[in-house]
Structure 1
Amino acid sequence: MITVLITYVIDPAKVDAFEVYGRAWIHLVNRMGGTHHGYFLPSEGANNKAWAMFSFPSLAAYEDYRHAMASDADCQKAYKHAQDSGCILSFDRTFMRPVLDGASPEDLGL
C-alpha cells in the first residue's frame, strides 16, 4: 500500500472554495479505486495550510489513477474549480508507507 500526503498552501480568504475542491476529490479518489482519508483544513494556528491523505493498494495502482484522472471529465472540473477560484497557492506530494496495525509491546518483543 502507498499513501499520498499532499501539503497545500491555500488562500486563507478562500477556505470555503478549497473545501468544495476537497469534497470533490474525496469522491473522485474513492470512485477511482483509492481510499481517501480526508482533507484537513485550518482551524487553529496557521490559516494557510491544509493537508490531504489517500491510499492506493500499490504504486502501480496510483499510477493507473494518475493516468485515468488526466482524461476524466469530473477530475478536470475539480481542477478547473481550484484554478478559477485561486484557492490553492502551492502544494507538494509525499509518498508514504502506512503502519495501520497495532501490536502489544510483548508481541513486539519490547
Structure 2
Amino acid sequence: MVTCYLKYIIDPWKIAEFEHYAKLWIPLVNQFGGQHHGYFLPSEGASHIAYALFSFPSLAEYECYRQQSMQDEACQAAFRYAEETRCIVSYERSFLRPVFGDQDDATSAEN
C-alpha cells in the first residue's frame, strides 16, 4: 500500500472554495480504486495550509489513477475549478508507506 500525502498552500480567503474542491476529489479518488482519508483544513494555527491523504494498493495503481484522471471529465472539471478559483497557491506531494499494528513485518516489507 502507498499513501499519497499532499500539503497545500491555499489562499486563506478562499477556504470555502478549497473545501468545495476537496469534496469534488474524495469520491473521484475512491471511484478510481483509491481510499481517500480526507482533507484537513486550517482550524488553529496557520490559515493557509491544508493537507490530504489517500491510499492506493500500490504505486502502479496510483499511476493508473493519474493516467485515467487525465481523461476523466469529472476530474478535469475539478482541476478547472481549482484553476478558475485560484484557491490553491501551490502543493507538494509525497508518498508514504503506512505501518499498521495489525500487519506483520513481511506484509509491510512487500509494499
TM-score (normalizing by structure 2): 0.90
Q: Which amino acid in 2 is paired with 1:82?
A: A
Residue 40 of structure 1 corresponds to 40
What residue in structure 2 maps to residue 57 of structure 1?
A: 57
Q: Which secondary structure does the structure 1 equivalent of 2:65 belong to?
A: helix
Q: CA RMSD in A?
A: 1.1
Q: Which runs of 5+ in 2 are unaligned?
A: 104-111
Q: 1:102: how far off?
A: 5.1
User: How far apart, CA to CA, are the structure 2 residues paired with 1:36 and 1:100?
Assistant: 17
Identity %: 52
Between Structure 1 and Structure 2, which shows a larger proportion of helix residues? 2
Moved over 3 A (4+): none
Larger Rg: 1
Q: 1:3 corresponds to which residue?
A: 3
For 1:91-106, list aligned pairs within 5 A.
Answer: 91-101=91-101
Query: Corresponding residue for 1:29?
Result: 29
Larger deviation, residues 82-91 vs 93-102: 93-102
Q: Using the alignment, how far apart are the partners of 2:69 and 2:95 within structure 1?
A: 18
Q: Which runs of 5+ in 1 are unaligned?
A: 104-110
TM-score under structure 1 length normalisation: 0.91
Counterparts of 2:48 and 2:16, CA distance in 1:
12
Find the aligned partners of 1:30 and 1:102 in 2 and give their Cα distance.
23
Paired with 1:21 and 1:100, the residues of 2 have a C-alpha distance of 29
Amino acid at match of 1:56: F
Partner of 2:73: 73
Compute the displacement of 1:101 (Å).
Answer: 2.2
1:57-90 CA distance string (max 9 Å, x none): 0011001000000010000000011000010000
> How many residues in Structure 1 have an aligned counterpart in Structure 2?
103
